């Protein structure tokens, strides 16, 4: 009999998603929930070229899911400086802070991680050269509708819908 290779992290995420559906529990809120106690603040950015968004594929963690350039806000940073740093570290792109648009803060509540998610947008006039870090293995430019069909980080799915008014 052959062996089946199972990604335990992926199984855990699936089980948690099923539990949330059965319990009608939300992962993300647009208004601060009662007793919301975030352990950290994070950022993500919609880097747009024409009508396409830059997505990065995790090389090892999160079962190779796709994500926006994103990261945790360090103690000595604010969300704007963090997203500029993370975008350069993960994709090799320098962001002009005067063209960076803050979109919203979301309240994210995973079973083992509760955090603030600060979303930004940056519009490009020319398609840039992407220089990936070791954290990511690939990149892709996709429309918001195409992104919803991809294996993306769960809260980013809800954020995509809100940002681009999708159902």
Is 51 within the bounds of a domain? yes
Structural domain contains residue 79:
yes
Number of domains in the chain: 1
Note whether residue 1 is domain-resident. Answer: no
Query: For residue 68, what are the contacts with CB-CB under 8 A and spacing of at least 6?
Result: 44, 45, 46, 47, 53, 54, 55, 56, 156
Residue 148 falls within a domain, yes or no? yes
Length of the chain (residues): 167
Domain with 115, as residue range(s), is 27-163
Q: Are 55 and 147 in contact (CB under 8 A)?
A: yes
Round to whole Å and give the CA distance between 151 and 66. 6
Domain CATH for 41: 3.90.79.10
Mean per-residue pLDDT over the chain, rounded:
88
Residue 23's pLDDT is what? Answer: 44
Q: Is residue 18 part of a domain?
A: no
Distance CA 66, CA 6 (A): 19
CA distance to 23, 68, 73, 112, 129, per residue, from 16 (Å): 10, 22, 26, 10, 37
Can you tell me the distance from the alpha carbon of 24 to that of 12, in angstroms, rounded to the nearest whole number? 18
User: pLDDT (tens digit, 9 = 90+) per residue, 71-127?
Assistant: 999 999 999 999 999 999 999 999 999 999 999 999 999 888 899 999 999 999 999
| Residue at 42 is within a domain | yes
Contact 130, 91 (CB under 8 A): yes
Give the C-alpha separation, 102 to 122, whole Å: 9
22, part of any domain: no
More confident residue, 21 or 45: 45
Residue 53: strand, helix, or coil:
strand
């Amino acid at each position: 009999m052959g062996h089946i290779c199972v990604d335990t992290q992926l199984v855990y995420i699936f089980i948690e998603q099923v539990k949330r559906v059965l319990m009608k529990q939300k992962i993300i809120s647009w208004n601060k929930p009662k007793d919301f106690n975030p352990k950290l603040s994070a950022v993500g950015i919609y880097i747009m070229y024409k009508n396409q968004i830059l997505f990065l594929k995790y090389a090892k963690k999160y079962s190779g899911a796709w994500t926006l350039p994103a990261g945790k806000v360090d103690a000595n940073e604010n969300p704007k400086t963090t997203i500029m740093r993370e975008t350069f570290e993960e994709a090799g792109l320098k962001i002009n802070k005067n063209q960076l648009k803050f979109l919203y803060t979301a309240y994210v509540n995973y079973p083992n991680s509760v955090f603030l998610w600060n979303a930004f947008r940056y519009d490009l006039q020319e398609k840039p050269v992407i220089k990936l870090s070791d954290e990511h293995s690939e990149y892709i430019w996709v429309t918001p509708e195409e992104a919803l069909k991809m294996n993306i980080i769960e809260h980013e799915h809800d954020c995509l819908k809100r940002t681009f008014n999708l159902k």
